[in-house]
Amino acid sequence: MNKIYILFVILCLGVCCCKQKTAEAKEQKPIVSAPQFVADSAYAYTQNQLDFGYRIPGTKAHKECALFLAEKLHDFGADTTLQHGKVMAYDGSYLNITNIIGSFAPEKQRRIMLFAHWDSRPYADNDPDKGNHKKPVTGADDGAASVAVLLEIARQIGLQNANIGVDIIFFDAEDYGTPYFYTGEEKVEHDWALGSQFWTMNPHIKGYRAEYGILLDMVSGKGSSFPVEQVSKHFAPHIVKKVWDKAESLGYGNIFPKSNGGSVIDDHYYINMYGIPCVDIIAYHPNTATGFPPYWHTVNDDMSNIDRNNMKAVGQTVLEVIYNE
């Protein structure tokens, strides 16, 4: 009996050890080598968008830039969709908008959603010069650079397949919110992020699901860093940990500090409400009145603010996250 009992204990210990080794193997998942993000390429894509002019819904520049972005996604190997829609703006008028969607490996059920807004604001209503407040914004960092980072990510996915399906979405009319000088009687709630709101009510695929999403917004400004945005922390703390840990492991901990940033109602808010946990990688400047970069919603949001090093940090972090799924 003693021998049998001892044998039983040994067998149990062996099973436990096997389970422990299996668990450790899962925890020690091998790190996949992701493609190298090319910041010069993303910088050029930013300038390409600005060359069209102000990307305001209803303008020629807006229409031409939409076609350019769709063609780029298609050239990189994505199944590309132009989602046209009509939304109500802050003053009760209707805007014709276009969300641009590029899907890599659409047959895969496991998916990640990457997104940014591609429009530019019609009003520089945060400019220090009140004479500029009704002028349009170029939107180099606030829009174009984030789209450019995703275009470079799309180019890399086209060159080296990821293990998971990736949907890249450029949302329209994020920056068409109410200017402070509007005095009309019509007041529309939820007047920002109109393109993502439209998408949540009309997803490009019925019942569309993704495991999580990452929003990029103002990710390329000189002197910017990206502490943890608080809506992201509330809805998707596990994705915050995934992204910020990865950035730290790559040596970008100073650019992605794990301290608390601001709280922003951005495109990711509506995607979270749709049911996909999302985080927002967004610049936070605690020393400005708005918490945004000093050129935010001014006529000075131009290429002089764009930092290739921040583009590299954000783009490489996102690539490393998606290639290690």
Query: Where in the sequence is the domain holding 261, given as residue range(s)?
Result: 37-323
No. of helices (H) and no. of strands (E), the chain = 9, 6
The pLDDT of residue 32:
82
CA distances from 283 to 91, 194, 242 (A): 29, 21, 18
What average pLDDT is seen over the chain? 93
The predicted model gives 111-131 an average pLDDT of 98
The predicted model gives 110-114 an average pLDDT of 98
The pLDDT of residue 12:
45
The pLDDT of residue 28:
63
Q: Give residue-wise pLDDT tens across range 134-165.
A: 999 999 999 999 999 999 999 999 999 999 99
Please count the structural domains in the chain.
1
The pLDDT of residue 42:
98
- Cα 147 from Cα 47, distance rounded (Å): 11
Q: How many residues belong to the chain?
A: 325
In a domain, 3, yes or no: no
Higher-confidence residue of 30 and 224: namely 224
In a domain, 4, yes or no: no
The predicted model gives 228-244 an average pLDDT of 98
Whether 133 has a pLDDT exceeding 70, the answer reads yes
Sheet-wide strand order for 94-104? 79-88, 94-104, 165-171, 111-117, 212-217, 278-282
In a domain, 28, yes or no: no
- Cα 247 from Cα 124, distance rounded (Å): 33
Q: Give residue-wise pLDDT tens across range 277-286.
A: 999 999 999 9
In a domain, 12, yes or no: no
In a domain, 18, yes or no: no
Higher-confidence residue of 250 and 8: namely 250
In a domain, 30, yes or no: no
User: CATH number of the domain that 183 lies in?
Assistant: 3.40.630.10
Strand 94-104, strand 79-88: pairing: antiparallel
Q: Give residue-wise pLDDT tens across range 168-181.
A: 999 999 999 999 99
Strand 212-217, strand 111-117: pairing: parallel
Whether 19 has a pLDDT exceeding 70, the answer reads no
The pLDDT of residue 119:
98
In a domain, 261, yes or no: yes
pTM of this prediction exceeds 0.75:
yes
Split at pLDDT 50, 70, 90, the class of 4 is: very low
In a domain, 11, yes or no: no
The pLDDT of residue 3:
39
Q: Give residue-wise pLDDT tens across range 47-80.
A: 999 999 999 999 999 999 999 999 999 999 999 9
